[in-house]
Amino acid sequence: MEYLGRQSPSSIEIEISSRAKKLYFNGLFKFPDPIEERICIWLNKGLSIELFDSDVEHSINEQIAHDPDLGVLELKRIDVLLKNPLKKFYMKYHGVIEPTIYPAWGCHGDLYIIRAETLWYPFTVSCRTVFWGLLYGYHDKALILFKIGKLTPVASLDVVSEDNGEIVFGGENIYQPIEFIIGPFKREVYAGDKQLFIYTLNKPSYTSAELYKHLDNVERAYEELYSVKSPHNQYHLVFLKETGGFHAGSMIVLDEKYIKTSKGLTLNLVHEFSHIWWAGKIKLCSPDSTWLMEAIPEYITTRIGGILGILEYTKQVKEVVNKAKSILRSGRYRPPTTIPMPMNEYSESIWRVVGPSIFYEVGGIIGYESLDHILSVFMEESLSSNKPYCLTWKTLRRMLYNLDERVSQILNRYGV
Ligand SMILES: [Zn+2]
């Protein structure tokens, strides 16, 4: 798996409109350093380029290709051969965005759930793979203008301006690829110290004041336990079914199934919130490190849930560790370090059961406060860095391995 240096656009300006269930994009993309000879654009298979314009003489080759690192993805790969170095291009494209990894993503009638891996904007990070673009995507600046009539858009950026049904989302030092959702949402705004936007399709089960309170408690728990303040002053809380919930920038999506109780709501917020750092500000930047992006949030969720008194820490840990031990004994065990992205149920269980168990067990030896302290140092450092902050398992492992002989035994037992 190779990462060919930073070629993702430093600046993005896109206008998005919709007609007849299709999305229309009109965008200007600028690069930090001129790109020589060839630029590869990865795009969703359902999108067609209407216009590619640049002041550099070029020719274009288009094909449907598989990403060799992620195998199952079928993507549109556009090779642009350049006569001179290219610093920016302008592109018009449109179509129906098809789901890639997960069936819920993409255009579904008047609900559009457009995540990074749907490749809705040109992924130019490498000619070989989109994998690092998804994990490492980073822009200095972005502006997205939505002109979509009666539907309500929400993006992983902040609301910058609103006028007559046109709404602009924007931001600087964006630490993840940009994502957005469009749907017939009812939107409510709650202004406290931070601004909270709430998007619902049905009658909400919580008032905006209750949601604000929950989010505030979660923020405080992070401050107390990990000494970190969220970099966001605005949050977009989106309620959807069948998505499992996810996080991107200032957007937190919650799956209605998991938040029926106040306890469920808090735990899901804690998990999604932890992604501001893990897989957000902190890039897990080698193939054997990506499992940390779920292992550590799961550990943190149990830890904060225990401290807030909404789950029994010891019982929860015991249950998960027992499951991990039976997976370990099953004979077909694969260490999480060998799974850069889970693509089936089995590898998913390695990430979500074995992954956190390693941290529960290590914490049980060195003390949870010590483990929290180690994690908090990375979280703090990533906040003060204005470049993508890279952490590998090798670095973290080296720190843990030498703390206690019993830790090395745990890591060896799980083969990580
Ligand atoms: Zn997660």
Among the listed residues 51, 56, 52, 54, the one whose alpha carbon sits nearest the alpha carbon of residue 83: 56
State the fold for domain 1-184: Immunoglobulin-like (2.60.40)
Per the prediction, the chain carries an average pLDDT of 93
User: Residue 2 pLDDT more than 50?
Assistant: no
Calpha distance 263→395 (Å, rounded) = 34
pLDDT band at 5 (very low <50, low <70, confident <90, very high): low
CATH 1.10.390.10 segments of the chain: 185-276
pLDDT band at 170 (very low <50, low <70, confident <90, very high): very high
HSE-up of 77 (CA within 13 Å, CB side)? 19
pLDDT band at 288 (very low <50, low <70, confident <90, very high): very high
In angstroms, how far is CA 351 from the centroid of its own chain? Answer: 16
Calpha distance 33→189 (Å, rounded) = 39
User: Residue 13 pLDDT more than 70?
Assistant: yes
CA 276–ligand 1 middle distance (angstroms): 10
Calpha distance 200→210 (Å, rounded) = 15
Question: Per-residue pLDDT averaged across 303-307, rounded?
Answer: 95
CA 176–ligand 1 middle distance (angstroms): 14
User: What values do phi and psi take at 179, rounded to 5?
Assistant: -130, 155
CA 208–ligand 1 middle distance (angstroms): 24
Amino acid, res. 409 = Q
Radius of gyration of the chain (CA): 22
CA 268–ligand 1 middle distance (angstroms): 9
Question: Per-residue pLDDT averaged across 11-22, rounded?
Answer: 94
Q: Which residue has the higher pLDDT, 154 or 344?
A: 154
Q: Over the stretch 94-150, which tens digit does the pLDDT of each residue have?
A: 999 998 878 899 999 899 999 998 999 998 888 888 887 888 788 999 999 999 999
User: Residue 71 pLDDT more than 80?
Assistant: no
pLDDT number for residue 393: 97
User: Residue 285 pLDDT more than 90?
Assistant: no
Contact 389, 282 (CB under 8 A): yes
Calpha distance 138→134 (Å, rounded) = 9
Q: What is the largest CA-CA distance in the chain?
A: 64
User: Residue 360 pLDDT more than 80?
Assistant: yes
CA 278–ligand 1 middle distance (angstroms): 9
End-to-end CA distance of the chain: 19
Question: Per-residue pLDDT averaged across 259-270, rounded?
Answer: 95
User: Residue 49 pLDDT more than 90?
Assistant: yes
CA 253–ligand 1 middle distance (angstroms): 11
pLDDT number for residue 385: 85
Considering the four listed CATH numbers 1.10.1760, 3.30.1490, 1.10.390, 1.50.10, the one that applies to the domain covering 282-414 is: 1.10.390
User: Residue 54 pLDDT more than 70?
Assistant: yes
Question: Per-residue pLDDT averaged across 268-289, rounded?
Answer: 94
Calpha distance 128→349 (Å, rounded) = 28
CA 165–ligand 1 middle distance (angstroms): 33
CA 352–ligand 1 middle distance (angstroms): 9
Whole-structure pTM value = 0.93
pLDDT number for residue 72: 64
CA 295–ligand 1 middle distance (angstroms): 9
CA 35–ligand 1 middle distance (angstroms): 34
Calpha distance 124→270 (Å, rounded) = 32
The dihedral through the CA atoms of 73, 75, 79, 80 has a sign that is negative
CA 298–ligand 1 middle distance (angstroms): 8
* Cα 252–Cα 119–Cα 169 angle in degrees, nearest 5: 45
CB atoms within 10 A of CB 299: 27
CA 246–ligand 1 middle distance (angstroms): 6
- 304, exposed or middle or buried, with CB in 10 Å at 0-12, 13-18, 19+? buried
CA 141–ligand 1 middle distance (angstroms): 25
Calpha distance 178→175 (Å, rounded) = 9
Which of 129-138, 277-286, 354-363, 396-405 bottoms out in mean pLDDT, i.e. has the lowest?
129-138
Those residues whose C-beta lies under 8 Å from the C-beta of residue 330, and which sit 6 or more positions away, are: none
CA 297–ligand 1 middle distance (angstroms): 7
Question: Per-residue pLDDT averaged across 363-368, rounded?
Answer: 96
Phi-psi region of 342 (alpha: psi -120 to 50; beta: other; left: phi over 0): beta
CA 2–ligand 1 middle distance (angstroms): 24
pLDDT band at 55 (very low <50, low <70, confident <90, very high): very high
Helix, strand, coil fractions of the chain, as percent rounded to 5? 35, 35, 35
Calpha distance 165→146 (Å, rounded) = 8
User: What values do phi and psi take at 174, rounded to 5?
Assistant: -80, 125
CA 255–ligand 1 middle distance (angstroms): 12
CATH 2.60.40 segments of the chain: 1-184
Residue with the two structure tokens 């007609």 = 19
Considering the four listed CATH numbers 1.10.390.10, 3.30.70.1230, 3.40.50.10860, 3.40.50.1220, the one that applies to the domain covering 185-276 is: 1.10.390.10
User: Residue 1 pLDDT more than 50?
Assistant: no
Q: Over the stretch 381-416, which tens digit does the pLDDT of each residue have?
A: 999 987 789 999 999 999 999 899 999 999 999 999
CB atoms within 10 A of CB 250: 26
